[in-house]
Structure 1
Amino acid sequence: MKLVMGAGMVMLLGSCSMMGGMGGTTYTFKHNPNAADPSAMGSAKVMAGSAGMSTTLSLMGLTPNKAYIAHYHAFGPDSSTDPCASNGPVSVGFPNFTADASGNASVTLTTDMAKIMGDMGAYINVHYASDPSVVPICAPVKMTKG
């Protein structure tokens, strides 16, 4: 079966290597240098599909029964080599979610690939819903600008 890809999809695959083929690509969250949720960890699985790009976050070690938010962020001005340290603007948000009684959570976002093309989808942050300045974990999705 031949797939015909638009210029945007070709650019996304070529510049970001975000899809990793038909099985998608899995990115590992890293803990940010703060005391929030010291056992937090997880992964982000990114896949292309007919409805757009789907990203599923599988998270563990969060504060039990705590509400969280997560976002794709574009590269910011603070770093050209570490997306998580670049302090970039939000490009698209995941649905709000709450960790279960064991501190686990899973949330999926399906969006138009154009919203995360180029520098728009450089990293994913997980924030406390009650205080978005608290960012326990981050998943670098793209390692360099451009």
Structure 2
Amino acid sequence: MKILLLPALSLALGSCAMMYAPMTYTLAKQPAGGALNSSGTVTVKRDGMTVMTSAMVSGLAPNTYYVGHYHMQGTPNTDPCSSGGAPIMSSKVVGMTDAMGMLSMSGSASASDVMNATYFNIHTASDAAGTPADAGVTCTSVKM
């Protein structure tokens, strides 16, 4: 009897962690004067508690630190990437481009922290800690 109850309990608890289909967004030039020749994607994978974010971008400055994070909507009824919304610093990911200007970075954040995010942007960073050095070089709107 106990053997039958344990698998059923495991199945019931496992179904509580709802999985969502991964979403891939195309990065575009940041309206505030971003990188001219960059292109890339941001992939968002979400379960009930965590959001995993991966970004791949080419055409950036070589051997340079970059920081990406989600933002809240700023000015209402404005394109999210132009809205000037507040950053969600708990979603910060930092990476360094290779000698060819290719950036690959990933990280995770609590789903509750980024639930209302409307865009993800990447800034040039002034240091390895990911201190933003500009208004952003590339951006994409997101829907959580």
Q: Is TM more than 0.5 here?
A: yes
Computing the radius of gyration over CA atoms, which structure comes out larger, 1 or 2?
2
Q: Match for residue 4 of structure 1?
A: 16
Count of residue pairs the alignment pairs up: 126
Structure 2 gaps, min length 5 = 1-10, 127-131
What are the residue-to-residue correspondences of 1:126-141 with 2, within 5 Å? 126-130=122-126, 132-141=133-142
In structure 2, how many angstroms separate the alpha carbons of the residues matched to 1:107 and 1:36?
18
Structure 1 gaps, min length 5 = 10-18
In structure 1, how many angstroms separate the alpha carbons of the residues matched to 2:96 and 2:118?
24
Cα RMSD of the aligned pairs, angstroms, is 2.5
Contact 1:94 1:108 in 2 (8 A): no
- Confirm or deny that 1:111 pairs with 2:112: no
- Normalising by structure 2, we get a TM-score of 0.75
What are the residue-to-residue correspondences of 1:37-48 with 2, within 5 Å? 37-48=35-46
Q: Match for residue 79 of structure 2?
A: 82
In structure 1, how many angstroms separate the alpha carbons of the residues matched to 2:119 and 2:58?
18
In structure 2, how many angstroms separate the alpha carbons of the residues matched to 1:45 and 1:84?
17
Deviations 1:92-129 (CA, angstroms, capped at 9, x unpaired): 33332111001101111111100011x3x111111111
- Normalising by structure 1, we get a TM-score of 0.74
Q: 2:81 is paired with a residue of what secondary structure?
A: helix
Contact 2:27 2:39 in 1 (8 A): yes
Query: After the TM superposition, which segments of 4 or more aligned residues of structure 1 sit over 3 Å from their partners?
Result: 33-36
Contact 1:67 1:128 in 2 (8 A): yes
CA change 1:88–1:50 in 2 (3 A) is closer
Q: Match for residue 96 of structure 1?
A: 94
- Aligned identity (percent) is 30
